[in-house]
Amino acid sequence: AANKKLLIVAGDGIGPEVMTQVKRVIAWFDKRQGLTFDVGEELVGGVSYDKHKTPLTDEVMGKALEADAVLLGAVGGPKWDNLPFADKPERGLLRLRKEMELFANLRPALVFDALAEASSLKTELVKGLDIMIVRELTGGVYFGSPRGIETLPNGERRGINTQVYTTSEIVRVARVAFELAQKRSKKLCSVEKANVMESGVLWREEVTKLAPEYKDVALSHMYADNCAMQLVRQPKQFDVIVTDNLFGDLLSDCAAMLTGSLGMLPSASLGATDQQGRRRALYEPVHGSAPDIAGQGKANPLAALLSYSMMLRYSFDLAKEADLLDTAAKNVVAKGFRTGDIMSPGATLVSTTGMGDEILKELDRLGA
Ligand code: NAD
Ligand code: IPM
Ligand code: MN
């Protein structure tokens, strides 16, 4: 894979801390398994704003479009919270997603056996849980127009965002979800609010129309508020969930806590496959820059490491290598090594780097 280009954008807060551990794992695969990538590194988010007065330069955008895969840490933080909207670190990430056309965001929530007790839910409710949330990522209220803040003649101000979905936007993300369901437990739950939103009515109609093409998949529909409730009541009823951009953002944070911590949840953002079989992709942990623990060596790097494993699997078809890294992560946690967010009585508390050390040791053991 030496000709394959990886672009690393570590970003802000704990982004660079967790990405340092990913880089150690990249180096391990390079040295020990001959898995060489052409790795470049660039700025995105607040760090880019500080240097270039924009959260994403056109140059970095261009490099992302050319890369075979992009790895992102996290962006944002209190330092940049009061900037005008267009300059905010988060806009850098949103621009990457939009211009790379990464419409399908895969957010798996998988409970490691050893962590079932770290969940805020009863152990038996989450033990063995394995669900996949497919979040639409380039449409909906995040990008719809009109948008903005305006002042009315009476002096009142009005904030506007618009939820919009076209049929093709719904169909392409639903197909990704149906196909994933076919490879898993063949259950797909489509989530919207067709009871109050026209975009939800259209969503439900379009998803329903696809069902005859995927006869082996059992399709169901659920309102988003109920889905949030069902996720904490009886999460194992779900296999694949497909939903819009905003509902997917909320539901995936919710699902994250089932696994014990936001620090455990990886994600893959995928575009369409082109004629040459190339598919744009960005991999990032679901968590943010965690300003409350940044710079203290407390961040859990597993979400970022598992995102790297998703990259090996989805972008490069390296299932064996991805399995190796996933197994290493499971074993390290099973051996009792924990960062603070997943700490439990009797376990060994490790730092971000300490967790990286254990992963490398485990890779040495497994990969020997
Ligand atoms: P957050 O995900 O950064 O943090 C939420 C809570 O989870 C915090 O208590 C944090 O300490 C904890 N946490 C998150 N990741 C962790 C990890 N790896 N290990 C241990 N604990 C972890 O969400 P927030 O506080 O709402 O947002 C902070 C900033 O991050 C904001 O600027 C927000 O816009 C941004 N953000 C960025 C992304 C992204 O880059 N994809 C995602 C979410 C939020
Ligand atoms: C996420 C984040 C982002 C989102 C922000 C930082 C733009 O919360 O990746 O889940 O809302 O999509
Ligand atoms: Mn989010």
Query: How many domains, in total, are found in the chain?
Result: 2
Is there a binding annotation on residue 357? no
Same domain, 148 and 174: yes
Q: What is the pLDDT of residue 119?
A: 85
Same domain, 153 and 245: yes
Q: Residue 1's pLDDT is what?
A: 67
Q: How far is CA 68 from CA 65, 213, 238, 295, 308, in A?
A: 8, 31, 32, 30, 13
300 and 327, same domain (yes or no): yes
Q: pLDDT (tens digit, 9 = 90+) per residue, 183-204?
A: 999 999 999 999 999 999 999 9
State whether 249 and 360 are in the same domain: no
Q: Give the global pTM.
A: 0.96
Q: CA-to-CA distance for 29 and 322, rounded, in angstroms?
A: 11
For residue 368, name the pLDDT band (cuts at 50, 70, 90). low
Residues 260-292: tens digit of each pLDDT: 899 999 999 999 998 888 899 999 999 999 999
Q: 138 and 92 in one domain?
A: no
Pocket probe mutation, ligand 1, options 20, 48, 94, 262, max atoms within 8 Å of Cβ: 262
Q: Are residues 187 and 269 in the same domain?
A: no
Residues with CB under 6 A from ligand 2: 76, 90, 93-94, 249, 286, 288
CATH of residue 2: 3.40.718.10
Give me the domain span that covers residue 252. 130-258
Q: Closest Cα to atom 9, ligand 2: which residue? A: 286
The answer to whether 129 touches 348, Cβ cutoff 8 Å, is no
Q: Is residue 182 part of a domain?
A: yes
Single out the residue in 243, 258, 273 at which a domain terminates: 258
Which pLDDT score, from 0 to 100, does residue 260 have? 86
Mean pLDDT for the chain overall: 96
**Least confident among 111-125, 207-221, 299-313:** 111-125
pLDDT for residue 171:
98
- CA distance linking residue 173 with residue 220, whole number of Å: 16
Q: Is the ipTM of this structure higher than 0.95?
A: yes
336 exposed, middle or buried (CB, 10 Å; 0-12, 13-18, 19+)? middle
* Crossing angle of helices 15-33 and 302-314, rounded to 10°: 50
Percent of the chain residues topping a pLDDT of 90: 93
In a domain, 339, yes or no: yes
The response to whether 294 counts as a known ligand-binding position is: yes
The length of the chain is 368
Q: Same structural domain for residues 243 and 183?
A: yes
- Asked if residue 156 and residue 64 are part of one domain, the reply reads no
User: What is the band of 3 on the pLDDT scale with cuts at 50, 70, 90?
Assistant: confident
Q: How confident is the model at residue 45 (pLDDT cuts 50, 70, 90)?
A: very high
331 within some domain: yes
The answer to whether residues 190 and 271 belong to one domain is no
Residue 312 confidence (pLDDT) above 80: yes
254 and 155 inside one domain: yes
Q: Are residues 142 and 41 in the same domain?
A: no
CB 211 within 8 A of CB 103: no
Average pLDDT rounded to a whole number, residues 162-174: 98
H helices then E strands: how many in the chain? 12, 14
Single out the residue in 258, 290, 312 at which a domain terminates.
Answer: 258
Strand partners, 39: 6
Residue 257 has pLDDT above 90, yes or no: no
Q: Tell how far the Cα of 290 is from the centroid of ligand 1, in angstroms.
A: 4
- How far apart are the CA of 287 and the centre of ligand 1, in A? 5
Task: Give long-range contacts, CB 8 A cutoff, 24+ apart: 226-230.
Answer: 227/189, 227/191, 227/251, 228/254
Task: Identify the CA nearest to 315 among candidates 277, 358, 365.
Answer: 277
Of the candidates 209, 236, 258, which is a domain's last residue?
Answer: 258
